[in-house]
Amino acid sequence: MESTNVKQLEKVVVRFSGDSGDGMQLAGNIFTNVSAGVGNQVSTFPDYPAEIRAPQGSLSGVSGFQVSVGHGVHTPGDLCDVLIAMNPAALKQNIKFLRPGGVVIVDIDSFKEADLRKALFKTDNPFEELDIKAQVVEVPVTTLTRNALADSGLDPKSVAKCRNILALGLVCWLFDRPLEAARKMLANKFVKKPAVFEANSKVLDAGYNYGHNIHATVSTYRIESDTPVPGVYTDINGNTATAWGLIMASEKAGRPLFLGSYPITPATDILHELAKRKDLGVKAIQMEDEIAGVCSAIGASYAGNLAVTSTSGPGLALKSEGIGLAVMAELPLVVIDVQRGGPSTGLPTKTEQTDLMQALYGRNGESPLAVVAAATPTDCFTMAFEAARIAVEHMTPVILLTDAFIGNGSSAWRIPEASEYPEIRVPYVSEDAINSGWRPYDRDDSTKVRRWAIPGTEGAAHRLGGLEKDFVTGAISTDPVNHEKMVQTRREKIARIADDIPELEVMGDTGADTLLIGWGGTYGHLLTATKELNAEGVPTAFAHFRYINPLPKNALEVIRRYRRVIVAELNTGMFADYLQSKLPGVEIRRINKIQGQPFQVSEVVEKVKTLIAQ
């Protein structure tokens, strides 16, 4: 047997890159699913080009997909161990993500002079020009694909589309992934195109066999796996998990699910997923614009549905007046904001956390509502359920903040049993209350929550609207004192949600002087940074917020325990400003990034060290 260079790793990072039409997202997703199936933890980062249909082979048209697989995986990784580059532009744009000493696999057939010029290389040797310090494996991917499919009967364009699967087969050999699992996914994708499936299945084998034949010249990897808890596992992205969490909430509340939405990147997949679920009674309607989306949801809520509208930052701005109506009417409504770079329509595929202030305050007048944020792709399920639970049980709009990173990214997930989630207690108006002269704004004394009268309930006919109501009768009121009382009541109702959410937990070295704080989709990067800091002898505690308004009851007391408080977020310091307003006298230091990219663990570690040294 020929000797091999085998590296045993706790986890490994692979980055697929090529033109936006080269199928890198498909290859990456299949590799992710196969890895999850063998017991690896996974975390992905699809890196789409910002331009639509950029010129083929150009730097602006490069699409990437990075995945980390193994044990103790919380992020897609800062740097990759293996880079697959399908053309010179992909190599040039992504070589900065390759770890020194790693492996770069290129389709050498796509490195002709014309290809190099498109990618703006100045010489005929891109590897020397980029000063690559890695094992470079030049694979004739295009030629191998053509040879494998010479007798397939497919036209040249269709044959070329199979190049990504040959590269996938090579990567499956490199990491000892089972081909049958990948083949099953291809069969499901091309179930209506058997000839295309057969072609991809053949090139999958060709890529694997090519890797086996050259294995003496490149490192191979063995990756640690976890022993999974028994159950049904899947690889799921955040947008799909959000949709499924809403379906679970609908089941637990016993109310039909309604989504009124307008397509917008990167939130549209939530609409797509829920539109498939007519079998579960879901009503998903694509409205003519963002305003119609929220208004249709408000109408559905009044009619007794678990009502949802989904969007991104620009759409949240358009929905603001409608959300204000839902605040005044005190109707349950879930507003999902998959945050992206901005403002306006800038960087629609890139991730940021720049909608926080809009979520908290972006309405006219005093319009308080609950705001929560998901931490990971799989946590989108839990926080979508929580957003719906809070909305229904507390009769309020709730904004759920996710972002492009976790909305498009995926993780391995055990599908939960229904028994693992609580029943949602719907505050229906009771028959006794109706018989006692119920009014639309009668409230529970402890929670300040009004009762929900579903239209058609005998004796509970009523109107709701956006004008101020009398505290006692619910009739329209312009009395100044009454208005102030209603404003304070709506505010207090939101504040009392703190009694119904988990307290803040501290991770890492809880006895440290330094507390690192994050919120939303930065969880994996900040948790990993905390672990690395403590491993390097830099004592650091970590607290992550998923409940933003109201904050957990113990949050401010926890923060005051620490001498040094650092908030890291993908904006200019919105959450730090929010906390600072509630913590006079406490100096909050900041780590901010606004580049349309997630944090790298290494940059957080270095910035924390710098702030500690000051």
Q: What is the pLDDT of residue 214?
A: 73
What are the start and end residues of each CATH 3.40.50.970 domain in the chain?
Answer: 234-420
Q: Where do the H-state alpha helices sit in 259-311?
A: 268-275, 290-302
Distance CA 338, CA 315 (A): 10
Q: Which CATH class is domain 8-223?
A: alpha beta
Lookup: tokens for 244: 């499924």
Phi first, then psi, for residue 30 (nearest 5°) are -65, -45
Q: What is the pLDDT of residue 6?
A: 54
Q: What is the pLDDT of residue 213?
A: 83
Q: What is the pLDDT of residue 145?
A: 97
Residue with tokens 């790298």: 600
Q: Chain-centre distance of CA 210, in angstroms?
A: 36
Q: Which helix (H) or strand (E) holds 83?
A: strand 80-85
* The listed CATH number (3.90.105.10, 3.20.20.70, 3.40.50.920, 3.40.50.150) that belongs to domain 506-613: 3.40.50.920
The CATH number assigned to the domain with range 234-420 reads 3.40.50.970
Q: What is the pLDDT of residue 144?
A: 96
Distance CA 470, CA 334 (A): 26
Q: Which helix (H) or strand (E) holds 205?
A: helix 194-213
What are the start and end residues of each CATH 3.40.920.10 domain in the chain?
Answer: 8-223
* pTM for the predicted model, two decimal places: 0.91
Which regions in the chain score pLDDT beneath 70? 1-9, 215-229
Q: What is the pLDDT of residue 288?
A: 97
Lookup: tokens for 195: 């000839």
Q: Which residues pair with 413 in a beta bridge?
A: 234
Closest by CA position to 169, among listed 161, 154, 156, 179: 179
Residues 6 or more apart whose Cβ sits within 8 Å of residue 490: 327, 330, 366, 368
Contact 228, 279 (CB under 8 A): no
Q: Apex CA 280: angle with CA 277 and CA 283, to 5°?
A: 60
Distance CA 501, CA 515 (A): 22
What are the start and end residues of each CATH 3.40.50.920 domain in the chain?
Answer: 506-613
3-class secondary structure per residue, 477-520: CCCHHHHHHHHHHHHHHHHHHHHHCCCCCEEECCCCCEEEEEEH
